[in-house]
A = this chain, B = another copy of it.
Amino acid sequence: MNYKIALIRGDGIGPEVVDEAVGVLNTVAEKFGHQVEYVDVLLGGCATDAVGKSYPDGTAERCKTCDAVLLGAVGGPKWGADKPAEQRPETALLALRKDLGLYANLRPASLRPAMTDACPLKKETADKGIDLMMVRELTGGIYFGKRNKYQTEDRGMEATDLMAYSEQEIERIGRRAFELARLRRGKVSSVDKANVLETSRLWRNVMHRLAAEYPDVQYEDVLVDNCAMQLVRDPGQFDVVVTENMFGDILSDEASMVTGSIGLLPSASIGDGAPGLYEPIHGSAPDIAGQDKANPIATILSVAMMFRYSFQRAAEADAIERAVDAVLAEGWRTPDIAKPGEKAVGTREMGRLIREKV
């Protein structure tokens, strides 16, 4: 096959981890007989520095000429919350998700076999295993709602953010979750705050309708505050967890940390038709940028998700995941996952080791 892939190297450690992921991608392509072409796309803080805005004109169009997008990381304290919106990397991320229609964010939170002792939870809990898939709605809710700020008469300034969801938005993300559950352990946990929020009550109604359409999938409602607790108490109880944008932001980060392997976790953001976007869940870590210290595994595993979800190529995805597990099983570690005293390898060496095993 021929694949055209947009590369958003981004800020901080982004370029380094993308380099290693591209290396692995090329090795896999060669092994399986694919042709890959790359298109560089400028976005994030580096774009602000280069052209004055984090989301240059034509970004989405450039991405749309490709079959998938691979992103390293964007952001950093240099382009903080005090900067105008068009200079902030977050603005670009949110705009790109919206313009590409990437409404479903898939974030596996699983303990890799060689990494169970990284889990911050008690050994009994880690030994039971953690293998859940967070499905976060990514283009609706309060992160995309109308914002406002005005002077009041007696309470100083006031600010507002609007959370909104339509049935259509809820249904399409819900359907993704039920379909995924069928390919996994057959359980969907839908997270909301239906005892308070109107959007959550609509969310719950739509999910119940879908649950009736998928009688083979086990379904439960979980309140968001309860879910935050259950992820700590017994994460092994979850299979697919589906929730709205902001709850998903919070809970998927919590779930990731519960695995203890933030540096290893990939993500996929997909829509209907448009190119999917694949990126590690970790940030741009400007403090270690350019020092050959970053862990490229999460970006490499994002390439595996790309093969699985955008190209429907499970064999290639499996090959990458197996290579990563083999390297970890041999004891190779980047500094972020090395135990005190353990010798660690750099970004490039980790990339090379994984390419070798593919």
Q: Contact residues of A with B, CB < 8 Å?
A: 75, 80-81, 88, 90, 94, 120-123, 125, 142-143, 145, 147-149, 152, 154-169, 171, 193-202, 204, 224-226, 228-233, 246-247, 249-251, 253-254, 256-258, 262
| B199–A159 CB distance below 8 A | yes
* Min CB gap A59→B, angstroms: 19
- When C-beta atoms are compared, the residue in chain B nearest to A90 turns out to be B195
| B residues less than 8 Å from A247 (CB atoms) | 250
Secondary structure of the A contact surface, majority rule: helix
| B254–A228 CB distance below 8 A | yes
| B204–A81 CB distance below 8 A | yes
| B250–A232 CB distance below 8 A | no
The contact sample of 18 A-B pairs, CB cut-off 8 A, is: A80-B195, A81-B200, A81-B204, A120-B232, A142-B142, A147-B197, A148-B198, A149-B198, A159-B165, A160-B162, A226-B253, A228-B228, A228-B253, A228-B254, A228-B257, A229-B253, A229-B256, A232-B258
* Min CB gap A48→B, angstroms: 14
Contacts A163-B162, A166-B152; A225 near B204 (Cβ below 8 A)? no
| A142–B121 CB distance below 8 A | no
- When C-beta atoms are compared, the residue in chain B nearest to A204 turns out to be B81
| B residues less than 8 Å from A201 (CB atoms) | 81, 159
Contacts A90-B196, A229-B257; A164 near B160 (Cβ below 8 A)? yes
| B149–A157 CB distance below 8 A | no
